[in-house]
Structure 1
Amino acid sequence: MTDTRPLHFELRHRVAFAETDLSGCADHVGFLRWQDRCRELFLSQYAPGLLGHQCEEAPTGPLRLFTQQLTCELLAPVAALDEICVRLSSAEPGHSRLDLGFDHIRIGPGGAETLVARGSQRLACLSTEDGTARPAPIPADLVRALGGRTGRGLTLAGRAA
């Protein structure tokens, strides 16, 4: 039976003064960096075979994870020294792609949470045979790391967990 509990992985971050603009708000690029860092830590903890965005699993050549698309919608300002929690969840898997969702939460006094941004990343799995990139199935390491779960309760298409 597939586990349909939502997958969550969290990155806690204290916003540095260097990450703010002249108005004192966190620079929009910081949100994308935090999403990337959250994804990298998730992979290093749960799918270390994919570190460096490659593994030798694909029968047609080395496999690479390629970021096709990223988005981030800013909903509220974030200032220096704010504590941010970036929560990763998977969503909308395909045969050779995986969309990851990110919620950026400000942790306030007493643990109060405020959604300050929402983002996404679309990853494509590509095998690179003879220097030519071709779509490849989501690697088993990543399927195991996701435990067959997605943020919307969907099962990874065509893959056993």
Structure 2
Amino acid sequence: MPMIYTPQGACFEYRFKTTFEETNLVGNIYFANYVLWQGKCREMFLYETCPDVIKDINNGLSLITLDLSVQYISQLFAFDNVVMHMFLEAQSPSRLLMHFKYYKEENEALVLVCEGTQATASMREENGKMVSVPFPESMFDVFEEYEIM
């Protein structure tokens, strides 16, 4: 999934189609799925832009979600086409703040249905405790491209 340039800056784009599995008894998408999608978008970003970080995660690096939010604007239903844009809002050597915009694709137009944020820390277990460590260097090179203008 490519980097997309928007008026807010460069973003990572993640596209998918919703399914019945993600709906509730009323038929709309269950609210917790929006949180899951943030994680999937973040993971696909790492997989596609920093594959070496996946190896670091398999060797003990942890990317811990510290905080997240989701603000619902309108509903999604099964078989809607969803386009997520993930922006880097702020960073430090061991912390990130990402902003997410969720769109429903309708007749080639994007309609905003949700926005969210996620704060993430880079940590590693040392002597039985989780301690902050810098993000892998390869991530910082990619982060610069995705910062909100």
TM-score normalised by L of structure 1 = 0.79
- How many residues get paired? 142
Q: CA RMSD in A?
A: 1.9
Q: 1:143 and 1:107, CA in 2 relative to 1: closer, same or farther beyond 3 A?
A: same
SS of aligned partner of 2:10: coil
Counterparts of 2:125 and 2:10, CA distance in 1:
29
Q: 1:116 and 1:26, CA in 2 relative to 1: closer, same or farther beyond 3 A?
A: same
Q: 1:92 and 1:75, CA in 2 relative to 1: closer, same or farther beyond 3 A?
A: same
Counterparts of 2:131 and 2:115, CA distance in 1:
30
**1:122 aligned partner:** 119
* Deviation for aligned residue 1:53: 6.6
Aligned pairs for 1:146-157 (under 5 A) are: 146=143, 148-153=144-149
Q: Which has the higher strand share?
A: 2
* Deviation for aligned residue 1:48: 1.3
- Could you list the runs of 5+ residues in structure 1 that have no partner in the other structure? 57-61, 154-161
- Could you list the runs of 5+ residues in structure 2 that have no partner in the other structure? 1-7
SS of aligned partner of 2:32: helix
Amino acid paired to 1:91: E
* Deviation for aligned residue 1:150: 4.3
Counterparts of 1:36 and 1:67, CA distance in 2:
9
**1:159 aligned partner:** none
User: Are positions 1:75 and 2:91 aligned together?
Assistant: no
Q: 1:76 and 1:13, CA in 2 relative to 1: closer, same or farther beyond 3 A?
A: same
**1:21 aligned partner:** 24
SS of aligned partner of 2:15: strand
Q: 1:70 and 1:37, CA in 2 relative to 1: closer, same or farther beyond 3 A?
A: same
Counterparts of 1:41 and 1:83, CA distance in 2:
17
- What is the percent sequence identity of the aligned residues? 25
Counterparts of 1:63 and 1:21, CA distance in 2:
35
Cα-to-partner distance string for 1:39-95 (whole Å, 9 max, x where unaligned) = 111101111122277276xxxxx5321111121111101111111101111111123
Q: Kindly name which structure, 1 or 2, has the bigger radius of gyration based on alpha carbons.
A: 1
Q: 1:84 and 1:113, CA in 2 relative to 1: closer, same or farther beyond 3 A?
A: same
